[in-house]
Chain A
Amino acid sequence: MKGFFSSALARGLFWQVIGTLVGAGLVTGIRALMGLSATDTFFFTEPAWVLGGFTGTLFFLVGSGVTADWIKWMRGIDTPDHHEDHHTGAAKYINVSLDHKVIGIQYTLVALVLIAVGGLFALIFRTELAASELQFLTTDMKLFGQNGPQLYNTLMSLHGMIMIVSILLGIAGIMNYVVPLLLGAADMAFPRLNAFSYWIAVPAAVLLLSSLVLGGFDTGWTGYPPLSARAPVGMQMFFLGVFVAGWSSILGSLNILVTVVRMRARGMNAMRMPILVWASIATSLIALTATQFIGLSFQLVMFQRLFGMGFFDPAKGGNPVLFQHLFWFYSHPAVYVFILPGLGVISELLPVFVRKPLFGYRWIAMSSLGIALVGFLVWAHHMFTSGMNEYLRVPFMYSTLLVAVPTGVKFFSWVATIWKGRISTPTPMLFVLGGIIVFLLGGLTGPPNATISTDLHLHDTYFIVGHFHDTIFGGFVFPFFAAIYYWFPKATGRRMNETLGKLHFWLMTPSFFVLTFGMMYIGLIGMRRRIADYDPALGIDGAHLVLTIAAFLIATSVLIFFYNFINSIRNGEKAEGNVWNSRSPEWQVPSPMPAHNYERPFEVVGEPYDYGLNDSGFVKFIEEPAKGKH
């Protein structure tokens, strides 16, 4: 426990509280001098909370020590280029480390914590939906200054954004841990920036969660004004949290891109990079260039609230639909940020478990870039009913349907990879296959939303909710679990329990099919999105009960995963060698790997996925220790 209180995490959180009080106090003092009201429903006034949230984040970053080296440089003090960790065991993960593997695991752990929090929120409101009428989130109840339906809206909205942040951290975790290993790099290109990108996500998560106790917000994760311009102060904490989390995403993707461009092993030309690297490039290109738009759109609403600027207020000549364009210009490409690394994991793992080359490597690699490119041209398909220009809807329908082409290339190539493979199905492979099928369902239910006339019925219903849970589970959640089961031995030298892993899979997958099919079914009947209660006359009470049971089964399976994960760190079966019989470089050396990765550098001498070809290797380790600045 003593170790915890002196850790970077604890120091950061402590200083975040102090920083929040300093910023909020400053504004309150100025307001008092100006004769304005100093306190409000949630003690501080809204401007005080906003500046407090901002200064709290800065204090966290300085207090946790992640900026220490930069501050030293500014003062003219040199620091060693070559960092060694001072912490061992679990302490490594709650302190600042520059090792990309530690940072990757830190990202993954926070992502798992947030999945648990977001999932818990989902269970709470899913329980409320089990029957029509309000059962426990009633108008009489009061919590955090909100009555039942308001709390429902807050939990539903936070479920969305907490899960999104969790996904962003989850993919950052996979990419951080795996990409340098696949490239043969000793670390990421900018280790300090890498640590910064991770640590800034922690205060962002705290800000997001603080909105729950500051009156909440009732807009959904989309935060459309004018509703978001009227919501309680929790809305501002939500905006600020997303704004800060965006930095993590932008800086992290910059780091990935530079690492891929500059730090590949000798002989690793573009068409010999492992396929996950291609997916990481595609996802990072989007995150680097589009994230600014959600930050901008949320910042404009923050300023509308704080300074009375009427960006989206029709009474002042503003335009509420403009917000939606800005918002979706990021938030649609963002879904490709979520899924491309997952699809990369599927393509990376399939050849290992079917013992066959990846079919159409170049096509799969290019399809990731194709999806990233087309993904920028489709944002307005979220706005077919918004009142935007009617005729502009048609080109957006064309561009949206076009996404099916590169996505189809991936599916057909996967099928051809599996075809005639010598398939084995340990837990990671089960999640890969589950991911393919679930993502297929998500993909197939997409076109009815893309063709405008059918979307006029489907928009803002549970059909959409079912559709995107399929895409996100298939494109992220299943591959994320696959990646964890697959690279767990690399990180710990032990493997996770197979029986529990299979139980996790076989409990989660059928329950999930029931959940999303049921969502689409009630959506067609007339169940709207984001409602706390529904008309019993719709006759969907029974379906909702089934959905709630399915949700609890999924939660049970994830609990099994958590138990397996934690237990296997100490008690898992030893697995220090090439557990999966993979050709990939990271499996050619013993697990777990030391800081700076490979003791001897390697050279690429073949194709990454030449399974079934005798006497071929992907990499060859160079005997001479590398000279130079290493």
Chain B
Amino acid sequence: MGHFVIVGILVVVMAVLTYFGLDATGLATQMHPVAASAQAAPIDQLWHWEVMVISFLFALIVVPIGYSLTVFRQKKGEMLDGEHMEGNASLEIAWTVVPLIIVVIFAYFGAYSLGEVRRVDANAMIINVTGQQFSWTFEYPEYGFVTTELYLPVDRQVVLKMQSNDVIHSFWVPEFRVKQDVVPGRITEYRITPTLEGSYKVRCAELCGTSHAYMESPVVVVDSAAYDAWVVEQVKIAEESKTPEGQGKLLATKNGCIGCHSVDGAAMTGPTWFGLYGSEVKLADGSTVTADDAFIAQSILEPTVTVVEGYPPVMPPYVLTDEEISNLIAYIKTLK
């Protein structure tokens, strides 16, 4: 009986040590980054319970093995057999039934937690989100403007209606805890109530191609006064962008052009637009052309025909009207 008592005590000690060890690294009471949404609370709570059970089960298996290895070890040169012990049906039934009960309890908590996370507020604000290789755009239908930053008022539920222009992406803000894939051909929903003001990032979590790692956009949670001021400013910008250049800039954002083409000369997946108009461009086939209206229009409509030297032929063709193309060119002209 002595062995069981010692092992019992050691299991408890080990379980407590494991739990506090995880707590010391900051992993026990919450999943790591700061929790910034109402939905994070039930998720972190469930995680905390799971860490407790994990700590206990870890100790329950590791301690008897470690104890046996130390105490019941074959001594050097010894070649003895152990006790002939074939099994014990009641023990086996116990360690089948007890885990079964624990599992069902956890599944219940899991379902309950999911219910909390999906709790619907009828007054939630709707924002349309579009994912494309390799950028996010956010449309505020109430006000009719489009941005590349997601501004959210604190303590108000928002529903993101998400769609993809090309492949599968996944919308994840680690601080919000929730993740939802964005699938071409359907609209998926992401419901969140930000609770903590601050600057975060949405990070695409589903591999979507070459620059997947960089498919990140700012997510800013502000108080309602600051949010209203931001909306007024965005509406003003949208008014001002009724010019061809402004419309072009909007198109570049909406279609995700700026996910691959920088506007300040920085190196990205595609050639930069900075100083592009009127410049001499060397193509992959060795020829050199001047980046005029015709060249830019062709590069949008048939991108594989005019691949610039040193860049992969990965741009899909875009179907735009003549007016949209001339607006885009007007915008590119301003980038000098």
Contacts and interface: CB of A to CB of B under 8 A. Distances in A.
A45 to B, nearest CB: 15
Given A387-B183, A457-B178, A418 B68 contact: yes
Nearest to B316: A230
Interface stretch (A18-26, A111-119, A180-188, A399-407): A399-407
Contact of A451 (B62, B106, B206): B106
A191 interface: no
A79 to B, nearest CB: 47
Contacts of B14: none
Nearest to B98: A408
A356 B82 CA distance: 5
Interface in B51-87: 53-54, 57-58, 61-62, 64-65, 68-69, 72-74, 78-87
B152 to A, nearest CB: 18
A258 interface: no
Interface string A316-359: 00111100000000000000000000000000000000111101
A453 interface: yes
Nearest to B203: A528
A238 B92 CA distance: 45
Contact of A453 (B3, B78, B114): B114
A139 interface: yes
Interface string B81-124: 11111111001100110011001101101110110111000000
Contact of A416 (B58, B91, B167): B91
A289 interface: no
B82 A387 contact: no
Contacts, number: 275
A408 B203 contact: no
Given A460-B170, A460-B205, A452 B65 contact: no
A624 interface: no
Contacts of A494: none
B172 interface: yes
Given A355-B80, A421-B82, A387 B180 contact: yes
A139 B74 contact: no
B65 A418 contact: yes
A459 B50 CA distance: 16
A363 B252 CA distance: 63
A356 B168 contact: no
Interface in A432-454: 433, 436-437, 440-441, 444-445, 447-448, 450-454
B32 interface: yes
Nearest to B269: A139
Nearest to B182: A387
Interface stretch (A52-60, A88-96, A145-153, A203-211): A145-153
Give the interface size class of chain B. 35 or more
B230 interface: no
Given A314-B186, A321-B183, A385-B170, A433 B69 contact: yes
Interface stretch (A495-503, A550-558, A609-617): A609-617
Interface SS of B by simple majority: mixed
Contacts of A531: 212-213
Nearest to B310: A140
A610 B86 CA distance: 8
Contact of A533 (B73, B83, B213): B213
Given A408-B95, A528-B172, A359 B42 contact: no
A390 B118 contact: yes
A466 B209 CA distance: 23
B33 interface: yes
Nearest to B207: A530
Contacts of A227: 167-168, 207-209
A465 interface: no
Interface in B17-43: 25, 27, 31-33, 42-43
A397 B110 contact: yes
Which among A147, A385, A521, A525 has the highest number of chain B CB atoms within 10 Å? A385
Contacts of B85: 356-357, 359, 416, 420, 612
Contacts of B269: 139
Contacts of B81: 355-356, 422, 611-612
Interface in A197-228: 218-220, 224, 226-227
11 contacts: A357-B86, A360-B87, A409-B92, A420-B68, A420-B85, A453-B113, A454-B110, A457-B179, A459-B205, A524-B31, A524-B32
Interface of B: 3, 25, 27, 31-33, 42-43, 46-47, 50, 53-54, 57-58, 61-62, 64-65, 68-69, 72-74, 78-88, 91-92, 95-96, 99-100, 103-104, 106-107, 109-111, 113-114, 116-118, 166-168, 170, 172, 174, 177-181, 183-186, 188, 201, 203-214, 216, 267, 269, 310, 312, 316
Interface of A: 139-140, 146-147, 149-150, 153, 218-220, 224, 226-227, 230, 314-315, 318-321, 354-357, 359-363, 385-387, 390, 393-394, 397-398, 401-402, 404-405, 408-409, 411-413, 415-416, 418-425, 433, 436-437, 440-441, 444-445, 447-448, 450-454, 456-461, 521, 524-526, 528-535, 581, 607, 610-613
